[in-house]
Structure 1
């Protein structure tokens, strides 16, 4: 087997570097970033993500890093890509969708085409969010109707953390932020945890409330008096 094939077959082979992007959406570089090559700590702080998140994006082939001695650093091209990735994650786009978007941007042959590709992705996400908001609105209406029909003294008890499926303090804080409409990434930043940990907490909340998704979990939490809108 050739060395090239050995490297391709090795599970420990380094992530493949992203292709060259001639045109990307015009998204400003964070002002806090210094010029030239940027250390991973500065990159993480500027974009409000963890080191693990940056490593994850590298594994997905979205960005790449080099090294100066033992320090992991990023070039200007990676910062430009990260700016696009970050606004997409802020909008709640899944990583798989971002990968498809970046592939389309890589194939763009002009700035106008790149801007059109990005606008189409944002429009698609807007439709998804609008549908989610409609679902949440209907669920909240149902909750309000149920509350209006609940006889005095029959209200469900507030969450006092006494029953076996009670939320932990961190889960409750996360639930409050979910109710306020924060994305998983924003929640992770707010309570200073990794995004993957925030996803795990949300999953635990959904399971404890016997819900199918975060919107049902929020609606049930309101109905049970755990949180208030």
Structure 2
């Protein structure tokens, strides 16, 4: 006797999942909301059948799909959310309808699938996304600082040489051009390009100079007083 085949559509949310179970004729056996837990979802599907499930690719969906595969043995496919939305073309935006559509697309073989990457690849993707977010944040901060400096018309002229004497916490970053830098703690100076920075706590002296070819913009932020001594 052959096993009964069930097609399951999963509309994924952070705290709940809408589960639609269909037979191979397209009859809805159940369409219910369950907590975001693989055990609660598995309880909706009758035991003893072969299960093919579909879930839209979104944040957290891949991890949940892998849990279902490992614990239940189901065949779980990730669906491309953009293509699913084009196929739907319906004003009905309820979770009930979305889960039903996923189950039906899985049943008739029209599900627009995407690759379910293994855990190590997903972790690398998360790291890359996080790094890109930090890079974007740094770029946005630099753009805001540059806009502020342009608004104040503040820049170090070519050939500028000075000592920055800080009396508290001080942070500085080179926004444009190049500067030569030497602190009272260093024996040798260094050339600072855009993105380079220096900082200090308490009483400290920083020697900064620019070459004679181009202007240099340095953003300085201090939590106490500081003096610029030419």
Q: Same fold (TM over 0.5)?
A: no
- Which structure shows the higher helix fraction? 1
Larger-Rg structure: 2
Instruction: Tell me which interval the TM-score lies in, with the shorter structure as reference length.
Output: under 0.3
- Superposition TM-score, scaled by structure 1 size: 0.25
- Which structure shows the higher strand fraction? 2
- Superposition TM-score, scaled by structure 2 size: 0.25
